[in-house]
Amino acid sequence: SAVISQKPSRDICQRGTSLTIQCQVDSQVTMMFWYRQQPGQSLTLIATANQGSEATYESGFVIDKFPISRPNLTFSTLTVSNMSPEDSSIYLCSVSVDETQYFGPGTRLLVL
Amino acid sequence: GEDVEQSLFLSVREGDSSVINCTYTDSSSTYLYWYKQEPGAGLQLLTYIFSNMDMKQDQRLTVLLNKKDKHLSLRIADTQTGDSAIYFCAEKTGGGNKLTFGTGTQLKVEL
């Protein structure tokens, strides 16, 4: 298994600002992912964070809005840029270990 | 295409069995998962099943997979109030590690 921590756990931000969310894993993993869970909704994959190369974004998500860093095999960041109230969501980091995926506790973001 | 559906709500009495259902459309699914999300928390992996299996049991949890009908179910025996949560099924498709999640089923356990 994997133990994943995220910072911050929650935040309230003003529109137009940016927030960087950190994800730390207790072991080296190849695959890390960022998901978004909008209020009352299911999870949607934003991107796959690749170590040593650019992230791979899913349809509807772009690098300018959600830049991602992956400096090593245990850490990644997701930035939510130029925020609007529509960005209010839970953002979850996930890692793939063998055939399973484990999730962090999530970052609850409210944009006013 | 990828589309995973679940019923929105399920209410059961404490001590009864709960059955949460999930249907998916992608026949190339390799693994299927059940996650639990309690209020204000992240996702907890409950169990998963490989697509060439039709049943997996893990303590109070039983997963049934009907690949022909693309139907997955999670049975929780002796449901307790602590089982109240949202349950998501998810499938891993294609050759990669991307998960497609269902819409989630909110389970309410009543005394």
Integer-rounded Cα radius of gyration of chain A:
13
Structure tokens at A85: 């109230």
Give the three-class secondary structure for B29.
coil
pLDDT of residue A98: 86
Question: Rounded CA gap, B12 and B109, in Å?
Answer: 5
> What digits encode the pLDDT tens for the residues A40-77?
889 999 999 988 888 999 999 999 999 999 999 999 99
Question: Rounded CA gap, B57 and B61, in Å?
Answer: 6
Average confidence (pLDDT) over B27-42: 89
Q: How many CB atoms lie within 10 A of CB A2?
A: 18
- Edge to edge, the sheet with strand A19-25 lists A4-7, A19-25, A75-80, A68-72
Query: Which residues make Cβ contacts (< 8 Å) with residue B59, sequence separation at least 6?
Result: none
Q: Which residues of B touch A38 (CB under 8 A)?
A: none
Q: Which residues of B touch A44 (CB under 8 A)?
A: 101
- Residue A100 in contact with partner chain B when CB distance is under 8 A: yes
Average confidence (pLDDT) over B8-35: 93
DSSP state at residue A55? P
